Structure 1
């Protein structure tokens, strides 16, 4: 029905239509207005009847007009507009039409029409049918309200967008009327405000509560499973419903309803209540872990920051699920428990490994190398602790990781101690070498992990300590593995330094042959470990050979003899270099040293000798005075002054750092 303003009536005209069926009972005021508008005198409403006793009785009557007759007059002045809309707007507003609109789910139209009836009822409250009409309006309001909020309640789980749009528009019409009545001082409507928006808020809460009641009951007897399942169910329904709200409900509401946050707040209250209930009891390690995961990660990241919900929920308005102090307490308990758990498991793994050593069985092979699962078990436990902490938060991970790294260092100390004990007690065990090799391989795996993963500043100290301990353990293994070889080679090197055998090509060939044969069974070392072993043998052969040169056993004055000797030294050096190069020795920096010494022995010009010595000092700056004097002793044709001038080159070396690792400083001359 059109508003009175649409009928071009003056504001002062107040009309109260009292609907009965399809007719309209009009009060005297509207009757007079219509009569005047028709150019007639006001009609008398009252007439006198003569009763049987001769008394006059004044009887008040209502003139009955059909609503269409009234509209014909008013709408004749407004011919413009859409004829279809005019036809709809001209339809009589009755209780029946409003009920029909409600039945047809036209809630917005029903809301508007009810507002018009309500306004008209409260214009003239003196009418004798006022209370009946108000009662009828309120009855219709009750029906409409029930229908509208039933749709609101069901919208959280149903796809009813058309109905929802009607329901929301109906609420908005009621809010508009509330605002009009508040701003209009002449409005006299005790039924306002109707508080439909407040009821919307309570209906949202009620619908959320009902959804939470639909959660499946946990039927397990495992308390940890029960706790995680309850939170998981809550999270699933929150995410599912909020996604539905974002995709299907939000667009039907104006911004001031803040629909996403309104629903989210009620779900969040359920989380708060559930969390509060859970924390009243003492939690085990698994429950503490899950609770921290939920508070720090799953809820804020996997749910609230889910791409489908991002930007729709204001997290700042959601209260933290746990008080700060409780979170700190749970975190401390979790960290302590995690450290103890990892420590326990890695020590159990080491104990089992040590038992295997003492049984004396040959280790398994993997890719032709002896293999143990020790490093795998230990590092899986370490990584498991770090990974679990990451599931909670990065901050907690940074707190836990150094503590776990410290436990690895303690593990390495215990590992070394048990290995030393094994070596002491099992010198004659059948599988001594294989067990040493498998542990050397294992240490390399540990060091490789630490080198690649302990790069944070807070882990540097643990990295250095761990590697230092592991290298000591490896050194124990290499020492035992090579001690027989080095002892055997010593007798051969003694032959080299005896008499004219200093540069015997045959003796050096025998040394190389023995080394090659000795290294064959050591191929069960991992490749990096095998290369380290080759490097150690390489270093031993070079240093032992140089030592024999410097023992002052030979002194030659004849130039031809010196050249012959130099050539022999050069040939031996080349044999050593060629063999260890073919074995991929990592200590290639050793290769020039014997050739440089041979060149010093060959040269006769003192200036040229000084240049060659300077080059040697440049490469191996840890060479000392005794070392040079030992080399120059072989050149019996140099005067003391010339020897002194050559040795003085060391003074110009100053405090230069070594270009290469230590060599001469490890060669002790008596």
Structure 2
């Protein structure tokens, strides 16, 4: 053996035969420690040592002690290259073969990553430790800075980390392809839907396993959770691209878009257990826009057709139950709104996620107008029933219409509100028609009692039963009516009763000739007002703007001096701006002690006063009160 100086000063080069090996510094340290190690001598006879069990490389490999096996090979590698002249090609080939055995066993162990069990977890930890050891050995050889390849083992660098990532990529691809054992998709209608669903479930379940168990086997530097997420994302995207290019029917295309734009980003990536360990924002979309856009167009057409079909089915179901509405908690009820709005709301929300375009979502929402147009035709046929026979059905559908109204008002951005054909306009029209049908039944029963209002019997204080009959009809209206309908129906009845009351009063069937009669009439009007307000408020009416109407009319009847009468009429006109000259004339004509000239002056003065008062948003009342044209009413 001869010793010569290498290219680096002070670095010995050992030569023997045809081998000329320069010894790296980390191997010189190993050589010194190997030659200087001595077996400790125990002089105390009372101390005995248990002979340790020492496993050779193959035994470590067989028992899956990969880190120990790797360390043995690294030690052997250091020894071979430290001894230099004593290494032979056979030694090197044997060592390289053992490395291949080790790596094959490590990759095989990694295939069991998702198999449950403590043993599999420990084996994976061993595999990762072995990879770390080999990565460290690669770095040592790289840092040694040896200039010639023959000075470095032929298997270095092993690049275990790179190979590890490649093995995981193949593992992920295989697991997403072999999904027949994944449960939870058997109820889907097509084999392709089942395949997509199973792939998605496999992806989510595997990522949950990664963040809950697998990450415990890896050091932080591997960033294993994000690595798996990226690999699964890429594999899933690639397989979905192949599916999208296959040529799908409408339902399968919609289901594919559902996974791409809804289920995967919302259910999988936003899973709380995953977001703590995975940067989902870095993953990007599953499919490129040029593939998603045709799917969106197909989805839009499909959903419009589907919703139209849903609407027909819901209406057909209602037609079968027209004469026999069900009762829930004592109220006539129909599940029309529940059936349709659940489907509609789900479709609109899904479209918002799937289409990501508010204008296209409005096209989906436009199907509500189509449905309500058909619903309108159906209800119009129901409302043709005479003699109140359809009252139970109308009450049931009134509750349904209230639900439609609330939904549209709470989701106004979906609809066009400024046209008559908008959903809200159709619903408002149907609510009005339903209320009219129900209140007309009550007014028919009240007709005889109404005829006594404003007559001598009423003025004389005789008991005319009109308020009692009104109370009875209020109870009939509320009977079997859902509480949410009370406000709108009883509010309408409240308005209509007061309109009829004022109309009868303005017919001038009673002549109030002096102060006493006028004050008596005013008191009667106030008493009736108080009773009516109490009845309707307790019944559910919220028409508070009507509670001062009759008292203000009573103030006109009670006041005697023309200038003060003029003031009271002006106050009435201010609060109810649709009070016309004809209405003023009819009211003042009740006061027979008021001259025609005084009436004309008051009317003219009020007219001029009202022209100076800006019109507000007051609700109309007197425009609903029909009065006959009177000679004295003309200015």
TM-based fold match above 0.5: yes
2:138 paired residue among 169, 175, 178 = 175
Pairwise CA distance, 1:167: 1.0
Tell me the SS of whatever aligns to 1:370. strand
Pairwise CA distance, 1:411: 1.6
Aligned to 2:168: 204
Pairwise CA distance, 1:99: 7.7
Contact 2:172 2:235 in 1 (8 A): no
Change (3 A) 1:102 1:592: closer
1:434 paired residue among 362, 372, 392 = 392
Change (3 A) 1:594 1:109: closer
Alignment deviations for residues 525-578 of structure 1 (CA, whole Å, 9 cap, x no partner): 223434444333332332223223334555555333333333344344444444
Pairwise CA distance, 1:208: 4.0
Contact 1:364 1:371 in 2 (8 A): yes
Alignment deviations for residues 625-670 of structure 1 (CA, whole Å, 9 cap, x no partner): 2222322233344456644554313433345345642111222332
Structure 1: distance between partners of 2:606 and 2:170? 95
Aligned to 1:62: none
Find out whether 1:385 has 2:343 as its counterpart.
no
1:402 paired residue among 326, 349, 362 = 362
Structure 1: distance between partners of 2:33 and 2:302? 87
1:545 paired residue among 501, 525, 529 = 501
Aligned to 1:147: 102
Tell me the SS of whatever aligns to 1:14. strand
Tell me the SS of whatever aligns to 1:15. strand
Aligned to 1:340: 305
Contact 1:362 1:435 in 2 (8 A): yes
Structure index of larger Rg = 1
Aligned to 2:371: 411
Find out whether 1:116 has 2:116 as its counterpart.
no
Gaps of 5+ in 1: 1-8, 19-25, 31-66, 85-95
Contact 1:16 1:120 in 2 (8 A): no
Contact 1:570 1:595 in 2 (8 A): yes
TM-score (norm 1): 0.74
Contact 1:102 1:144 in 2 (8 A): no
Pairwise CA distance, 1:594: 1.8
Aligned to 1:467: 424
Structure 1: distance between partners of 2:270 and 2:490? 56
Alignment deviations for residues 55-101 of structure 1 (CA, whole Å, 9 cap, x no partner): xxxxxxxxxxxx9xx9699859xx9xxx99xxxxxxxxxxx988898
Pairwise CA distance, 1:232: 3.6
Aligned to 1:243: 211
Tell me the SS of whatever aligns to 1:635. coil
Pairwise CA distance, 1:329: 1.2
Contact 2:419 2:425 in 1 (8 A): no
Of 315-324 and 339-348, more deviation after overlay is shown by 315-324
Alignment deviations for residues 478-499 of structure 1 (CA, whole Å, 9 cap, x no partner): 333343543564555444455x
Structure 2: distance between partners of 1:241 and 1:573? 73
Tell me the SS of whatever aligns to 2:386. coil
Structure 2: distance between partners of 1:150 and 1:527? 73
Aligned to 2:10: 11
Instruction: Report the RMSD for the aligned CA atoms in angstroms.
Output: 4.3
Alignment deviations for residues 453-504 of structure 1 (CA, whole Å, 9 cap, x no partner): 3243656569993232223223333333343543564555444455x45635
Change (3 A) 1:473 1:553: same
Q: Which runs of structure 2 are paired with 1:31-180 in the superposition (5 Å)?
A: 105=66, 106-107=68-69, 109-117=71-79, 119-120=81-82, 133-155=88-110, 156-157=113-114, 158-159=120-121, 160=123, 163-180=126-143
1:513 paired residue among 452, 459, 468 = 468
Gaps of 5+ in 2: 1-7, 42-54, 115-119, 630-635
Alignment deviations for residues 125-158 of structure 1 (CA, whole Å, 9 cap, x no partner): xxxx76xx13312321320342145225414343
Q: Which runs of structure 2 are paired with 1:604-615 in the superposition (5 Å)?
A: 604-615=560-571
Change (3 A) 1:351 1:656: farther
Aligned to 1:535: 491
Contact 2:348 2:361 in 1 (8 A): yes
TM-score (norm 2): 0.77
Contact 2:334 2:400 in 1 (8 A): yes
2:573 paired residue among 617, 623, 632 = 617
Find out whether 1:665 has 2:623 as its counterpart.
yes
Change (3 A) 1:169 1:235: closer
1:290 paired residue among 255, 269, 280 = 255
Change (3 A) 1:590 1:227: same
Structure 1: distance between partners of 2:400 and 2:275? 48
